[in-house]
């Protein structure tokens, strides 16, 4: 196990000497049972811990307690049932029960972008910490897992001290989470690393006990102060967003010069200093994390007086947004300059395949822009239709891939689900009005489509580009 330790004098010493025995197998609560929290609760129960999942959403809690996952995450329903069958996993909306029962409380509530600025909305986090800490009457550790701006944990430490009936006997730590939707169970059980932001040896020992099986499997552990633990998460997401926008910036240059971004990406990827991960050009990133995390980071850096250090992230965001409008441009170009009355099949709604998450989904942004220009857009997604319909009732949806493409003048691949990648160009070709396809994710075999009479376009590639196999990890 690789352990980076802080020198002891980085830690406050107030609690030394009053350290009670470490629970060998602490009882865990997970506050907030959304994409992150439900996966964490289930995985920890599967690993052998007793876990209590808590949420303010009673309907969500009822579903989870009955063995159903309220969102699409491959593998999670099976693990939920396995965990419930052991009797180690329970769910409740009762904070008092959680406060009395738990040794280590993980806070996994949402931190969306604020409605009126780029800042993170910390209302849910503040409320969860305040409600829980005011109900805890014994020694316990509250661990933030939500992604928060730097300095939040220090502020919450004060809040917890002020609201806790037992004062400093309730301690706070931060344990940022790096799971990817679509691979959430695997990532939780086998993370690349664990990061513990702690203020005492006691807190570190509690967390070590809470992650014992994962640490015993050799997972690297980084021990950090609170601010660094918070920063690790936003720094990682900023780096990944930058890598995606970097190759998409190169795609813009390719479009102006006739160069092919796929050939460029594959040549860059062979450079072991650069690598192929997150170097796939296309429609760019979306979802409930990357976009709002980089915006909140810019906002917080400005508050801290170091805005200049992350000015580049504004460009990263800008490049990413431009990919969406550019996709609409290409579709418009293909149909001769006007989208008015043009039937377009929009394949995908989720922000990425293997998820039903439509938060800041590039696919739906493109569909809405096409629709705003008068196109008759029909959307199909294997899993995200209920969420998309609920969020955008004004858009049209088809129940299947064939129904979505029937009669289309242009097909736009916007989320690279396997169902779309594996569709046969001839089968689709028989249904469309015109064989035109925009591959927003560089996921299709251009040669195969062209051989079947399709006009094929992809961002950053010349009209007559040939298929280039990109070195990539399907999970990115
Ligand atoms: N989804 C991911 O892939 C992922 C990965 C890493 C980190 N994160 C971070 O994890 C956090 C949660 O993200 P998510 O995607 O799971 O969000 P989510 O919206 O799916 O889940 C949040 C849950 O918190 C509940 N909640 C809100 N206020 C509450 C309160 N006071 N007490 C108890 N429950 C409350 C909501 O009802 C909801 O079920 C965010 O900070 C996010 O940035 C998410």
Distance between CA 3 and CA 188 in Å, rounded? 19
Q: State the Rg of the chain over Cα.
A: 24
Band (pLDDT 50/70/90 cuts) for residue 474 is low
pLDDT on residue 228 = 98
Nearest CA to 386 out of 408, 358, 364, 359 is that of 358
Residue with tokens 């097909």: 411
Annotated binding site: 55, 60, 111, 147, 178-181, 233, 278-282, 286, 292, 352, 359
pLDDT on residue 466 = 74
Mutate to test the pocket of ligand 1, among 109, 122, 293, 357 (most ligand atoms within 8 A of CB): 109
Band (pLDDT 50/70/90 cuts) for residue 1 is very low
pLDDT on residue 86 = 96
Mean pLDDT, the chain, rounded, equals 94
Please check the confidence at residue 18 and state whether its pLDDT lies above 90.
no
Mutate to test the pocket of ligand 1, among 110, 112, 287 (most ligand atoms within 8 A of CB): 110
pTM: predicted TM-score of the whole model, two decimal places: 0.93
pLDDT on residue 22 = 57
Please check the confidence at residue 21 and state whether its pLDDT lies above 80.
no
CATH classification code of 236-457: 3.40.50.720
pLDDT tens for 138-151 read 999 999 999 999 99
pLDDT on residue 14 = 36
33 lines ligand 1 (CB under 6 A): yes
Please check the confidence at residue 17 and state whether its pLDDT lies above 90.
no
Q: What's the 8 CA to ligand 1 centre distance in angstroms?
A: 33
128 lines ligand 1 (CB under 6 A): yes
Better pLDDT: 465 or 345: 345
Catalytic residue status for 289: yes
110 lines ligand 1 (CB under 6 A): yes
pLDDT tens for 266-311 read 999 999 999 999 999 999 999 999 999 999 999 999 999 999 999 9
Which atom of ligand 1 is nearest the CA belonging to 289? 43
Q: Which residues pair with 137 in a beta bridge?
A: none
Pick the catalytic residue from 160, 189, 203, 289: 289
108 lines ligand 1 (CB under 6 A): yes
What distances in angstroms separate CA 328 from CA 172, 283, 331, 386, 412, one per listed residue? 47, 11, 5, 24, 9
pLDDT tens for 404-455 read 999 999 999 999 999 999 999 999 999 999 999 999 999 999 999 999 999 9
Task: Tell the CATH topology of 23-224.
Answer: Rossmann fold (3.40.50)
Better pLDDT: 1 or 219: 219
Mutate to test the pocket of ligand 1, among 35, 98, 356, 361 (most ligand atoms within 8 A of CB): 35
Residue ranges, comma separated, of all CATH 3.40.50.720 domains in the chain are 23-224, 236-457
Q: Which 3-state string (H, E, C) describes the chain?
A: CCEECCCHHHCCCCCCCCCCCCCCCCCEEEECCCHHHHHHHHHHHHCCCCEEEECCCHHHHHHHHCCCCCCCCCCHHHHHHHHHHHCCEEEECCHHHHHHHCCEEEECCCCCECCCCCCECCHHHHHHHHHHHHHCCCCEEEEECCCCCCCHHHHHHHHHHHHCCCHHHEEEEECCCCCCCCCHHHHHHCCCCEEEECCCHHHHHHHHHHCHHHHHCCCCEEEECHHHHHHHHHHHHHHHHHHHHHHHHHHHHHHHHCCCHHHHHHHHHCCCCCCCCCCCCCCCCCCCCHHHHHHHHHHHHHHCCCHHHHCHHHHHHHHHHHHHHHHHHHHHHHCCCCCCCCEEEEECCCCCCCCCCCCCCHHHHHHHHHHHCCCEEEEECCCCHHHHHHHCCCCEECCCHHHHHCCCCEEEECCCCHHHHCCCHHHHHCCCCCCEEEECCCCCCHHHHHHCCCEEECCCCCCCCCCCCCCCCCCC
32 lines ligand 1 (CB under 6 A): yes
Annotated binding site for NAD(+): 55, 60, 111, 147, 181, 292, 359
Please check the confidence at residue 4 and state whether its pLDDT lies above 80.
no
Q: What's the 244 CA to ligand 1 centre distance in angstroms?
A: 24
Pick from 97-101, 394-398, 468-472: least confident: 468-472
Which two tokens mark 199?
A: 């203020």
pLDDT tens for 317-335 read 999 999 999 999 999 999 9
Q: Indicate which residue's Cα is closest to atom 39 of ligand 1.
A: 34
Please check the confidence at residue 36 and state whether its pLDDT lies above 50.
yes
109 lines ligand 1 (CB under 6 A): yes
Q: How far apart are the first and last CA of the chain?
A: 26
60 lines ligand 1 (CB under 6 A): yes
pLDDT tens for 340-369 read 999 999 999 999 999 999 999 999 999 999
Which atom of ligand 1 is nearest the CA belonging to 125? 31
130 lines ligand 1 (CB under 6 A): no
Please check the confidence at residue 6 and state whether its pLDDT lies above 50.
no
pLDDT on residue 12 = 36
Better pLDDT: 25 or 239: 239
- Cα dihedral 44, 49, 54, 59, rounded to 10, equals 70
């Amino acid at each position: 196990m690789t352990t980076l330790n802080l020198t002891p004098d980085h830690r406050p010493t107030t609690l030394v000497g009053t350290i009670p025995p470490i629970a060998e197998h602490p009882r865990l609560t997970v506050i907030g049972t959304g994409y992150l929290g439900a996966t964490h609760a289930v995985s920890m129960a599967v690993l052998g811990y007793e876990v209590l999942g808590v949420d303010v959403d009673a309907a969500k809690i009822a579903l989870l307690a009955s063995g159903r996952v309220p969102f699409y995450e491959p593998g999670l329903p099976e693990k939920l049932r396995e965990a419930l069958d052991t009797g180690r996993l329970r769910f409740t909306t009762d904070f008092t029960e959680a406060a009395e029962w738990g040794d280590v409380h993980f806070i996994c509530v949402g931190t969306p972008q604020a409605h009126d600025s780029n800042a993170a909305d910390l209302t849910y986090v503040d409320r969860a910490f305040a409600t829980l800490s005011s109900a805890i009457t014994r020694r316990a550790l509250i661990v933030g897992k939500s992604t928060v701006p730097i300095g939040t944990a220090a502020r919450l430490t004060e809040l917890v001290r002020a609201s806790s009936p037992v004062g400093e006997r309730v301690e706070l730590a931060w344990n940022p989470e790096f799971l990817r939707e679509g691979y959430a169970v695997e990532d939780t059980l086998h993370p690349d690393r664990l990061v513990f932001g702690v203020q005492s040896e006691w807190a570190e020992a509690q967390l070590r006990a809470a992650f014992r099986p994962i640490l015993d499997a050799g997972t690297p552990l980084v021990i950090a102060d609170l601010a660094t633990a918070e920063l690790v998460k936003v720094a990682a997401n900023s780096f990944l967003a930058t890598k995606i926008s970097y190759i998409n910036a190169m795609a813009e240059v390719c479009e102006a010069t006739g160069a092919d971004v796929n050939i460029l990406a594959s040549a860059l990827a062979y450079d072991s200093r650069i690598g192929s991960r997150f170097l796939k050009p296309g429609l760019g990133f979306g979802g409930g994390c990357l976009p709002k995390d980089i915006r909140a980071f810019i906002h917080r850096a400005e508050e801290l007086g170091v805005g200049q250090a992350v000015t580049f992230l504004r460009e990263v965001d800008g490049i990413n947004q431009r990919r969406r409008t550019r996709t609409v441009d290409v579709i418009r170009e293909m149909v001769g300059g006007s989208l008015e009355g043009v039937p377009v099949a929009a394949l995908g709604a989720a922000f990425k395949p293997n998820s039903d998450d439509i938060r800041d989904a590039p696919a739906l942004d493109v569909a809405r822009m096409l629709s705003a220009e008068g196109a008759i857009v029909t959307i199909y997604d294997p899993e995200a239709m209920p969420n998309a319909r609920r969020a955008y009732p004004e858009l049209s949806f088809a129940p299947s891939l064939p129904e979505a493409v029937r009669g289309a003048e242009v097909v736009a691949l916007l989320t690279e689900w396997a169902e779309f990648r594996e569709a046969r160009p001839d089968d689709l070709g028989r249904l469309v009005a015109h064989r035109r396809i925009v591959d927003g994710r560089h996921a299709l075999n251009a040669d195969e489509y062209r051989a079947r009479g399709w006009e094929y376009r992809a961002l950053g590639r010349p009209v007559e580009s040939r298929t280039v196999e990109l070195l990539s990890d399907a999970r990115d």
